[in-house]
């Protein structure tokens, strides 16, 4: 049966509240996901929270199923109030449901490139909203996952998980240094596709083959020149107005859909 916790001084509330900070997520090996939609997506992918907080104000059959499966798996189910949920999530209008999950193994060797024709690679991505949106794009186009290269924002931050709208649980995620990624990529099949304002090819000109790895650079600097030089295909997305470039997540979506639309045709 769920237990009631409404005190800020409760040790579990204090522990989970600290998971908004990266150092505590890494130390505990846990992260927070919020909302019925995201937690239901996680459940459908086989992920059950270790700790489930819910508000007494919410009533839904999917919540009942989450509670039952969390308890069956030995998890801790806690009924609480909006004030506690606000403290845990950091939002003024928090979701009425919050789950705590074990962080995934993000080793590059867990990626099986044969599992999908398309993969997304992000280098030095800094914005959690962009990371979450790229995960959603990957899910939408049927990509296998997201490989984060160099010093990227934490994919398990509250903001990135929130922006992914559940795609964090449908996409494989790996983190590694550039040299490690390049060595892994060249050890098997796959073409590396980068975008650059200095490229001479339009993004619709090449014929893309699977497995394809779409590479996006840092929001401010783009891809380093040395990384562009390693790309098998380097293309540019035409900018017909005053802006000099697209948002990183938008550019990723444009490229990903061009690749799969070629295959669909």
Q: What is the pLDDT of residue 82?
A: 87
Per-residue pLDDT of the chain (265 residues; tens, 9 = 90+): 788 888 888 899 999 999 999 999 999 999 999 999 999 999 999 999 999 999 877 778 888 899 999 999 999 999 999 888 988 888 777 778 999 999 999 999 999 999 999 999 999 999 999 999 999 999 999 999 999 999 999 999 999 999 999 999 999 999 999 999 999 999 999 999 999 888 899 999 999 999 999 999 998 888 999 999 999 999 999 878 877 777 899 999 999 999 999 998 8
Claim to verify: residue 143 and residue 181 sit in the same structural domain: yes
Please state the φ and ψ torsions of residue 236, each to the nearest 5 degrees: -125, 145
Residue (of 186, 166, 248, 237) closest to 215 by Cα position: 248
Q: 237-240 — which CB contacts under 8 Å span 24+ positions?
A: 237/195, 237/203, 238/202, 238/203, 239/197
State the pTM of this model: 0.92
**CATH assignment at residue 11:** 3.30.1330.30
Here the tokens at position 37 are 């939609």
> Which residues constitute the domain of residue 28?
3-102
Q: What is the pLDDT of residue 29?
A: 96
Claim to verify: residue 121 and residue 214 sit in the same structural domain: yes
For the segment 62-103, what is each residue's pLDDT rounded down to a tens digit? 888 999 999 999 999 999 998 889 888 887 777 789 999 999
| Of the residues 102, 137, 172, the one at which a domain ends | 102
| Of the residues 81, 102, 123, the one at which a domain ends | 102
Q: What is the pLDDT of residue 87?
A: 87
Residues with Cβ < 8 Å from 250, sequence gap 6 or more? none
């Amino acid at each position: 049966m769920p237990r009631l916790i409404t005190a800020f001084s409760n040790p579990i509330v204090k522990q989970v509240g600290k998971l908004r900070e990266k150092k505590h997520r890494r130390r505990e090996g846990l992260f927070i996901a919020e909302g019925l939609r995201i937690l239901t997506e996680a459940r459908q992918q086989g992920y059950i929270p270790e700790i489930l907080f819910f508000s007494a104000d919410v009533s839904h059959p999917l919540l009942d199923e989450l509670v039952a499966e969390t308890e069956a798996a030995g998890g801790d189910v806690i009924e609480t109030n909006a004030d506690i949920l606000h403290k845990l999530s950091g939002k003024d209008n928090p979701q009425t449901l919050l789950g705590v999950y074990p962080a995934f193994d993000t080793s590059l060797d867990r990626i099986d490139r044969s599992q999908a024709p398309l993969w997304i690679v992000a280098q030095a991505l800094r914005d959690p909203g962009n990371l979450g949106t790229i995960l959603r794009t990957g899910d939408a186009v049927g990509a296998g996952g997201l490989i984060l290269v160099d010093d990227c924002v934490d994919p398990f931050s509250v903001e990135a998980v929130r922006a992914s709208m559940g795609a964090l649980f449908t996409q494989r995620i790996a983190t590694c240094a550039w040299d490690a990624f390049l060595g892994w990529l060249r050890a098997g099949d796959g073409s590396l596709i980068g975008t650059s304002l200095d490229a001479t090819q339009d993004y619709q000109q090449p014929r893309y083959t699977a497995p394809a790895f779409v590479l996006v650079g840092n929001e401010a600097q783009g891809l380093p020149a040395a990384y562009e030089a390693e790309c098998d295909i380097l293309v540019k997305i035409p900018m017909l107005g005053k802006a000099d470039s697209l948002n990183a997540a938008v550019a990723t979506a444009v490229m990903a859909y061009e690749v799969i639309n070629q295959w669909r045709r």
